[in-house]
């Protein structure tokens, strides 16, 4: 879906599809260098990371194993409940593996902090994070991603996997959602 389809719902466009793909290419080059000679398991966090995971994986010029997890701390609202549940666990045994968790955004860090702790308890060789976006002002838990596309202000953003009530995920860009949509 193009931004023109929902232009009245967006305050502005932060990143175009071209800018996002370019940033993911940059991240892929760093990941390749850091994991040269190592087997890598890339774990996407469902559902939001679908776009990032797909395009980052395609940008990698090496073999990677992939898997998915679905965790939730939101329920139906826009604020985190603080209680994290695994909705879909990994199908892969990660013991002894280098794991790269891919997410589309780090907001409060509550869910991702819990997820990293959970994965680290499974005896991997390493666990790192790659995220397209991070909101430093919103962080409530110390989460230190190894790869960050952009730091953004603490605004409600949608597109490229990011949603509001399951809408806007298929938007090809990332934009700030207009308050009249969610107020």
Residues marked as catalytic: 107
Helices (H), the chain: 17-34, 50-59, 110-120, 179-182
- CA neighbor of 94 nearest in space, from 122, 116, 114: 122
Pairing between β-strand 10-15 and β-strand 174-177 as defined by DSSP bridges: antiparallel
DSSP per position, 6-17: GGGGEEEEEE-H
Tokens representing 127 are: 């666990």
């Amino acid at each position: 879906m193009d931004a023109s389809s929902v232009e009245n719902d967006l305050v502005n466009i932060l990143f175009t599809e071209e800018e996002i793909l370019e940033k993911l290419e940059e991240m892929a080059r760093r990941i390749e260098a850091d994991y040269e000679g190592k087997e890598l398991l890339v774990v996407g966090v469902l559902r939001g990371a679908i776009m990032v995971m797909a395009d980052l994986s395609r940008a990698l010029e090496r073999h990677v194993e992939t898997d998915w997890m679905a965790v939730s701390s939101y329920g139906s609202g826009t604020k985190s409940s603080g209680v994290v549940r695994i909705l879909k666990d990994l199908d892969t045994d990660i013991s002894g593996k280098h794991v790269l968790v891919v997410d589309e955004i780090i907001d409060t860090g509550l869910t991702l902090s819990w997820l990293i702790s959970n994965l680290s308890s499974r005896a991997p060789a390493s666990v790192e994070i790659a995220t397209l976006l991070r909101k430093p002002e919103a962080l409530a838990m110390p989460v230190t991603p190894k790869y960050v596309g952009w730091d953004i202000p603490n605004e409600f953003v949608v597109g490229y996997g990011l949603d509001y009530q399951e809408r806007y995920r298929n938007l090809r860009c990332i934009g700030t959602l207009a308050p009249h949509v969610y107020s």
